[in-house]
């Protein structure tokens, strides 16, 4: 696909998403490589999905709008972490990585009854981006860089890092931003250990000629 076609595809998908979020009065954050595309105004590699955090109160409304537009909904899981994808030919996929609750202290995502994933407020501070005339909210640039650092063995992230580096104002700490709470007790760096382990396993897959991501 040509770069011009990718720009049109990204713009169209962002417009659909933001229109739906407005209709459903959703709190959300775009995450992932689309933010780098908007930040640099460059489609520097193929973009396949629009990755999202979404508040759970509007989730059913959002899914219904996507279904009405002809998207097919898929439920996925990797170990204990589930997520939901919406796909339609001629559009980016919509990947709802976390559907939880935006609170004054951050973002809370519950896994079952006794496990919570909590993201710090400054990590998800709403940051406005614009791409091809579409305004949307994403993570701060420093949080984008943090995610890239955590997946440093992913070949795709090497290019992401090069693109985002000129926009960083200070050194970024990639760890300690997301906590897993077990029975209400925070377990420091447990999520970071999970991410680091996944990074090593992904790198091993690449060495074997497979894709870094387990779900692809």
Q: pLDDT category, 5, cuts 50, 70, 90?
A: confident
Distance between CA 9 and CA 126 in Å, rounded? Answer: 24
Model pTM score: 0.90
Report the pLDDT value the prediction gives residue 142, as an integer from 0 to 100: 93
Structural domain boundaries of the chain?
3-207
Mean pLDDT of the chain: 91
Give the class (CATH, top level) of 3-207: alpha beta
Q: How confident is the model at residue 1 (pLDDT cuts 50, 70, 90)?
A: low
Q: Kindly state the average pLDDT of the residues 93-117.
A: 92
Position 59 scores a pLDDT of 96
Cα–Cα dist 197/203, whole Å:
10
Q: Give the chain's end-to-end CA distance (angstroms, integer).
A: 20
């Amino acid at each position: 696909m040509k770069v011009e076609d990718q720009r049109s595809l990204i713009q169209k998908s962002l417009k659909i998403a933001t229109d739906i979020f407005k209709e459903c009065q959703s709190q959300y954050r775009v995450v992932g490589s689309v933010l780098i595309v908007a930040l640099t105004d460059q489609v520097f590699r193929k973009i396949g999905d629009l990755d999202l955090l979404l508040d759970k109160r509007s989730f059913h409304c959002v899914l219904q709008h996507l279904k009405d537009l002809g998207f097919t909904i898929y439920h996925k899981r990797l170990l204990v972490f589930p997520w939901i994808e919406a796909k339609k030919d001629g559009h980016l996929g919509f990947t709802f990585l976390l559907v939880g609750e935006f609170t004054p202290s951050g973002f809370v995502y519950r896994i079952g009854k006794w496990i919570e994933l909590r993201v710090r407020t400054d990590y998800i501070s709403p940051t406005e981006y614009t791409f091809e005339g579409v305004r949307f909210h994403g993570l701060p640039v420093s949080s984008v860089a943090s995610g890239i650092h955590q997946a440093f063995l992913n070949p795709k992230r090497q290019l992401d890092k090069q693109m985002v580096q000129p926009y960083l104002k200070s050194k970024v700490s990639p760890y300690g931003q997301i906590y897993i709470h077990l029975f209400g007790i925070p377990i420091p760096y447990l999520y970071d250990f999970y991410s680091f382990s996944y990074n090593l396993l992904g790198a091993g897959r690449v060495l074997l000629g497979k894709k870094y991501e387990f779900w692809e």
